[in-house]
Structure 1
Amino acid sequence: MSELEFPTSLGTSSADEIRLLGRSLTEDLMGEVGFGELAFWLVALRRPTPSETRVFEAVLVALADHGFTPTAIAARLTYLSAPDSLQGALAAGLLGGGSRFLGVTEDCGRFLHEVLARDDALRDDALPGDDAGWDALALAAVRRERAAGRYLPGLGHPVHKVLDPRTPRLLAIAEEEGLRGPHLRLFEAIGRTHEEVLGRRLPLNGAGVCGAALADLGLPVDLLRGFALLARAAGLLGHLAEEARRPIAMDAYLAVDRNAVYTDPTDSSGEA
């Protein structure tokens, strides 16, 4: 018998049983636990409350799809090129989740967490007691980022120039469930105060508010992009199913390829 041991708190299996999170997969989990609830449980190693599950699954729904984004286009074009490799097409879309698309969820959650940790505001007795206190904390953070020449994650959206409709809805759900915590409150305060420093008003990004909500659920900020990718995997699978039914990838490819115009690399004007 091998003396090697590889400890895990996740899944184990034997010839006649599969166990997950210390429970029988077939008797305790299948048909009893939703996928979103399980995803939370696998990371946090604790079963979420019904309120936490509602907020968490609202985040997953909010991030599942946003139309013909670069991630969706990448998946569809890869599927066009290699229809025999569904996994490759799905992976291509997920690999595009970065600082401009999807990665905002993690970047925003991490930024808010760092602000709260910097000011020791995560201690319950140190949290601001009213909007004025949150605004002061937010304003100081915005000024620091501006002075350092850094962008504030979670502000602005390429499509929703005035209001990202996901933001107020997720805030409302968190409030209903008693889970509008310090990360969400700080994010809201940034929304109220940033114009004073930046000189213009930008909407609070839906992916950013998702990061704040996930951080308020106590999930590790270093893993928040993973939850965005988990959600987007469902959306990408939907895009690939639609591509098989009603393809557009060939048209997208031909539109670019047939309109490509050679430009002399020494021409600095950028004109053809």
Structure 2
Amino acid sequence: MADDGLRFPTSLGTSDETQIRLLGQDLAADLMGKVGFGELAYWLVAGRRPTPGETRVFEAVLVALADHGFTPTAIAARLTYLSAPDSLQGALAAGLLGGGSRFLGVTEDCGRFLHEALAGVSGEIDYDELALRVVKSATGRIPGLGHPVHKKLDPRTPVLFQIAEQEGLKGPHLRLFEAIGRVHPQVLGKTLPLNGAGVCGAALADLGLPIDILRGFALLARAAGLLGHLAEERRNPIGMDVYMTVDRNAVYDS
């Protein structure tokens, strides 16, 4: 029995013997079969139901980040599953734990970088001018600029720009990121692609989602991809080959 003296307020979910409520809705009657998972994920975090346009951009981000082949996160998940096939959750968690500054975490890092650059800027913005200042003042790598595989163009980037434009959701973060892509060669002396994880961070920031948890959306998307890798590992395992290839080529170095 609940203690009448205690209250733990939540705007998310509650349940009793006969009903589950989520976001103020009856889960079974109002949400199941009527709300897509991407729409629900946005709603859970933002506290409001997204518009159809926002849902389209948000779900495009999730699709863009779901998988990128045999990345370290996928390999970690597969090798953990090889070691502990009784722990699917451990294998999935192992892959997610690898989401950091080089893989997946760029989504949040880029969103934060752009957000901080736009802080205090008001009125009509000359994005190329602002981008030049940002690139010139940057110390270290600029999040979202460059990619280890896509040296000239990340195919996800123009598509997400286009979708945001079509939905009227190409806001200041995306516009500044786009401008960085135009002006950075003047400063760096070389041309780098705007990577997909970075454009996803800019798009999420333009949707008004909390900057501090943008990485969580990248992890949400990659969870689906990792589950796919684990399903494939069950059907057509490569984990043992990866392990043995490394082990057989290990060289003792004193």
TM-score, normalised to structure 1's length? 0.92
Question: Residue 174 of structure 2 is aligned with which of 157, 167, 184?
Answer: 184
1:65-124 Cα offsets, whole Å, 9 max, x none, are: 00000000000000000000000000000000000000000000000000000xx23x4x
1:252 maps to what in 2?
Answer: 242
2:220 maps to what in 1?
Answer: 230
Q: How does 1:25-174 map to 2 (within 5 A)?
A: 25-117=27-119, 120-121=120-121, 123=122, 126-128=123-125, 133-145=126-138, 149-174=139-164
| CA–CA distance in structure 1, aligned partners of residues 238 and 156 of structure 2 | 27
Q: Which amino acid aligns with 2:211?
A: V
1:218 maps to what in 2?
Answer: 208
Q: Which amino acid aligns with 2:216?
A: G
Structure 1 spans left out of the alignment, 5+ residues: 265-272
Could you say what secondary structure the match of 2:168 adopts? coil
Are the counterparts in 2 of residues 182 and 216 from structure 1 also a CA contact under 8 Å? yes
CA RMSD of aligned residues (A): 0.7
| CA–CA distance in structure 2, aligned partners of residues 165 and 127 of structure 1 | 30
The reply on whether 1:205 has 2:195 as its aligned counterpart is yes
Q: Which amino acid aligns with 1:31?
A: G
- Aligned-residue offset at 1:127: 3.5
| CA–CA distance in structure 1, aligned partners of residues 180 and 211 of structure 2 | 19
1:15 maps to what in 2?
Answer: 17
- Aligned-residue offset at 1:172: 0.4
Q: Identity of aligned pairs, percent?
A: 78
Could you say what secondary structure the match of 1:12 adopts? strand
1:184-234 Cα offsets, whole Å, 9 max, x none, are: 000000000111111111000100000000000000010100000000000
Tell me the matched-pair count. 252
- Aligned-residue offset at 1:181: 0.4
Could you say what secondary structure the match of 1:19 adopts? strand
| CA–CA distance in structure 2, aligned partners of residues 222 and 94 of structure 1 | 17
Which ranges of 4 or more aligned residues in structure 1 deviate by more than 2 Å?
none
Are the counterparts in 2 of residues 127 and 182 from structure 1 also a CA contact under 8 Å? no
| CA–CA distance in structure 1, aligned partners of residues 117 and 148 of structure 2 | 25
Could you say what secondary structure the match of 1:225 adopts? helix
Could you say what secondary structure the match of 1:68 adopts? coil
Q: Which amino acid aligns with 2:226?
A: L
1:26-83 Cα offsets, whole Å, 9 max, x none, are: 0110011000000000000000000000000000000000000000000000000000
